[in-house]
Chains A and B, each alone.
Chain A
Amino acid sequence: MASVIETRLPPAEPKTSRAVSYALLRGSAILAAIGAASLLAFLPAAALVGKISFSVVRTFVIHSVAGSAGLTETLHLFVPIAFAGSSVWLCRRAGLYNLGAEGQLMAGALATAAAVDFVRSPGGFEQSSALSFLAILGIGLAAAAAGALVGLLVGLARAYLSMHEAVVTILLNLIVLAVVRGATAGPLRDPAGLGYPWTRPVPSTLKLPSIGVLGVEIPLAFLLAVSVLLVVALHLSRSRAGLVIRAVADNPQAAAFHGIDVRRVVASTLAVGGALAGLGGAAELLGHQFRLGPFFSPGFGFHGLVAAMIAGKSGAALPAAAFWIAVLLNGSAALERLEGIPASVSAVAQGIALIAIGGIFYRKQALQALPLRIPRPTRRPGPPSSSGSLVPEAADPGDTASKGGREVLSAAAEDRGHSAKSSVTEDVP
Chain B
Amino acid sequence: LMEALLGSAIRISTPISFAALGESVLERTGRVNVGIEGTMLSGAFVAYVAAASGHGHLFAMLAAAAAGATFGCIFGVLVSSGRVDQIVAGIGINLLAAGLTSGGIRWFEASRGYRAVDTIGTVEIPWLSRLPWVGPVLFSRSPVWYSSILVAICLWWFLAKTRAGLVLTATGFAEDGVALSGSRPRRVIFLTSVFSGTLAGIGGGDISLGSAGIFVEGGTAGRGFLALAITLVAARKPLAVPLAAGAYGLAEAYALQTMTTSASQLAWYRELLPALPFAITLIVYAIASVSSARRSAPS
Contact = CB atoms under 8 A, between A and B. Distances in A.
Interface of A: 1, 4, 41, 45, 48, 97, 99, 157, 161-164, 166-168, 170-172, 174-175, 177-179, 181-183, 185-187, 189, 305-306, 309, 342, 344-352, 354-355, 358-359, 362-364, 366-367, 369, 373, 424-425, 427-429
Contacts of B239: none
Interface string B251-276: 00000000000000001111111110
B268 A189 contact: yes
* The 10 A-B residue pairs with the shortest CB-CB distance in the complex, in nearest-first order: A186-B268, A347-B99, A351-B95, A178-B275, A358-B88, A348-B99, A351-B96, A355-B92, A354-B92, A182-B271
Given A167-B229, A175-B282, A366 B83 contact: yes
Given A4-B176, A162-B293, A170-B222, 5 more contacts: A167-B225, A171-B225, A174-B222, A350-B99, A354-B92
A171 B270 CA distance: 19
Nearest to B175: A424
B91 to A, nearest CB: 6
Contacts of A344: 98-100, 102-103, 106, 217
A348 B78 contact: no
Nearest to A188: B268
Given A1-B176, A354-B95, A428-B173, A171 B281 contact: yes
A187 B89 contact: no
Interface in B74-95: 74, 78, 83-85, 87-89, 91-95
B51 to A, nearest CB: 22
Contacts of B87: 97, 99, 166, 309, 369
B228 interface: yes
Given A175-B275, A306-B91, A348 B103 contact: yes
A337 B217 CA distance: 18
Interface of B: 32, 34, 74, 78, 83-85, 87-89, 91-100, 102-103, 106-107, 173-174, 176, 217, 222, 225-226, 228-229, 232, 267-275, 278-279, 281-282, 285-286, 289-290, 292-293, 296
B299 to A, nearest CB: 14
A424 B278 contact: no
Nearest to A97: B87
Nearest to A360: B84
A367 B78 contact: no
Nearest to A45: B103
21 contacts: A4-B176, A99-B34, A161-B289, A171-B226, A171-B281, A174-B275, A175-B278, A178-B273, A179-B272, A181-B272, A186-B269, A186-B271, A344-B100, A351-B92, A351-B95, A351-B96, A351-B99, A354-B95, A359-B78, A373-B296, A424-B173
A350 B93 CA distance: 10
A338 to B, nearest CB: 16
Nearest to A176: B275
A174 B282 CA distance: 11
Given A4-B176, A175-B279, A163 B289 contact: yes
A174 B278 contact: yes
A161 B74 CA distance: 32
A355 B102 contact: no
A99 B222 CA distance: 13
Nearest to B282: A171
A305 B268 CA distance: 31
A170 B228 contact: yes
A163 B91 contact: no
B21 to A, nearest CB: 17
Contacts of B94: 351
Q: Taking chain B's interface residues, is the majority helix, strand, or loop, or is none over half, making it mixed? A: helix
Contacts of A429: 296
A328 B55 CA distance: 37
A167 B228 CA distance: 7
A97, A162, A179, A369: most-surrounded residue (chain B CB, <10 A): A97
Contact of A170 (B107, B225, B286): B225
Nearest to A185: B268
Contacts of A161: 286, 289-290, 293
Contacts of B275: 174-175, 177-179
Contacts of A305: 91
Given A161-B289, A174-B275, A347 B282 contact: no
A359 B102 contact: no
Given A175-B278, A363-B84, A164 B32 contact: yes
Given A342-B106, A358-B92, A347 B98 contact: yes
Contacts of A162: 289, 292-293
A181 B25 CA distance: 36
B175 to A, nearest CB: 8
Contacts of A41: 99
Contacts of A358: 84-85, 88-89, 92
B297 to A, nearest CB: 10
A106 to B, nearest CB: 12
B95 A347 contact: yes
A366 B84 contact: yes
Contacts of B34: 99, 166
Residue of B92, B273, B285, B286 most packed against chain A (CB within 10 A)? B92
Given A4-B176, A355-B78, A178 B272 contact: yes
B88 A309 contact: yes
Nearest to B98: A347
A362 B78 CA distance: 12
B96 A172 contact: no
A183 to B, nearest CB: 8
Contact of B271 (A185, A355, A369): A185
A1 to B, nearest CB: 7
B176 to A, nearest CB: 5
A164 B89 contact: no
Which of A48, A342, A345 counts the most B-chain CB atoms under 10 A from its CB?
A: A342
B278 A48 contact: no
A387 to B, nearest CB: 25
Given A174-B278, A181-B271, A354 B98 contact: no
A48 B173 contact: no
A182 B185 CA distance: 48
Given A178-B272, A181-B271, A350-B95, A163 B285 contact: yes
A99 B224 CA distance: 14
Contacts of B91: 99, 305-306, 309, 354
